[in-house]
Amino acid sequence: GNSVTQMEGPVTLSEEAFLTINCTYTATGYPSLFWYVQYPGEGLQLLLKATKADDKGSNKGFEATYRKETTSFHLEKGSVQVSDSAVYFCALSDQGSARQLTFGSGTQLTVLP
């Protein structure tokens, strides 16, 4: 079955530091890949996505590139802010009709001023 393995947290960084959160996946076929973010006390918000190999998703300074050869979708940001403190989830959906999401375990990011 499908699975997503995500970098263990928590991660604590100083403001303006570089962020990488690793994500690798196992799936048959050609899944779509997502990063969702969950701010304290809130639901899941789509941060970015990529639907085919070599696509780069980007939003709010975050980027992730769909690497089929390494089955990875690592999240990066060049300069984090305190407001980026949240839990980040990597997820995939397969090409079946239901397209349910399979999530990684989540990575708690804390950015200190």
Partner 1 sequence: EPEVTQTPSHQVTQMGQEVILRCVPISNHLYFYWYRQILGQKVEFLVSFYNNEISEKSEIFDDQFSVERPDGSNFTLKIRSTKLEDSAMYFCASRESWGADTQYFGPGTRLTVL
25 binds partner 1 (CB under 8 A): no
Work out how close the CB of 16 gets to partner 1 at its nearest, in angstroms, rounded to a whole number. Answer: 29
**Spatial distance between the Cα atoms of 96 and 2, rounded to a whole number of angstroms:** 12
53 binds partner 1 (CB under 8 A): no
Considering the complex, state which of residue 102 and residue 110 has its C-beta at the smaller distance from partner 1.
102
113 binds partner 1 (CB under 8 A): no
> How many residues are given for the chain?
113
Binding span for partner 1 by CB under 8 A among 12-20, 30-38, 61-69, 73-81: 30-38
Q: How many beta carbons lie within 10 A of that of residue 29, not counting itself? A: 8
**Spatial distance between the Cα atoms of 80 and 93, rounded to a whole number of angstroms:** 28
